[in-house]
Amino acid sequence: MWNDDRLNPKRAEQSLAGNAQMKLIWTQTVPRRLINTADGRDVTASTPLVYPYLDVATQTRNLGTVSIVRRDNGQLVKRILRNRASTTVRAPVISSRSAPAVQPKPVAATSQYVQVGTYNQQDSAQTVAKRIQRMGLPVRIGKYTRGGATYRMVIAGPFGSNINGVLSKLRASGYHNASLR
C-alpha cells in the first residue's frame, strides 16, 4: 500500500450522472458527433451538449444554456442562450512565470592587475609581496621615482576573468586600499 497520495481514496465513490458522462465521447470527424460508448448510439441531437463539453454544468458556466427545440418540420435543433459578458473590470494579472528580468551583462574588466600598495621602503614591499605569494597569487614589485623619492609598488597579477574575486580576497586579507589597475 502506498502512502504517497498515488491513489485517490475516493476512487470507488461514483454517481449515475458521472457514470453517464464518462460514457459520452465526441468523434474526431466533421461534423462532431456525441456518441454514447455504452451502446454506440449517436446522442448528438437528444443531449443538450455542444462540442467540446461533456457535462452540462461546465457548459453552462463557460458558454451558456443549451436547450433542444423541435422545429415545425420535426427536426431537433439546439438553441444556445449565451452568457452575458461580465461588465466588471478585472485587475490585470501579472504572471509569475513570465520571462525573468533581463540582467545587465557584467562589464568585462579591462584590468588584469590589482595594485596592493605603494611603499617607500624596499623591505616593506618585499614582506607584502611574500604574504601575497603565500596566498597563491602571482605578484610583482615595480619601482618608480617621483620628486626625488623612490617608491615600490606591489602588484598582483595578471588575472583573467576572476579579477574581482582576487580583489575581494586581498581586501579581506587586510589590504583595504587594493584597487584594480
Give the tens place of pLDDT for each residue, 112-164.
889 999 999 999 999 999 999 998 889 999 998 989 999 999 999 888 788 88
Note the pLDDT tens digit of each residue in 77-122: 899 899 887 667 778 877 777 666 666 666 555 678 899 999 999 9
Instruction: Write the DSSP assignment of the chain as a string of letters.
Output: ---SS-S-TTTT---HHHHHHHTEEE-SSSS--EEETTTTEE-TTTS---TT-SSHHHHHHHTEEEEEEE-TTS-EEEEEEEPPPP-SPPPP---TTSPPPPPPPPPPP----EEEEEESSHHHHHHHHHHHHHTT--EEEEEEEETTEEEEEEEE----TTHHHHHHHHHHTT-TT-EE-
Percent of the chain's residues with pLDDT above 70: 90
Percent of the chain with pLDDT over 90: 27
Q: Where are the domains of the chain?
A: 16-82, 114-180
Give the CATH number of domain 114-180. Answer: 3.30.70
pTM: 0.40
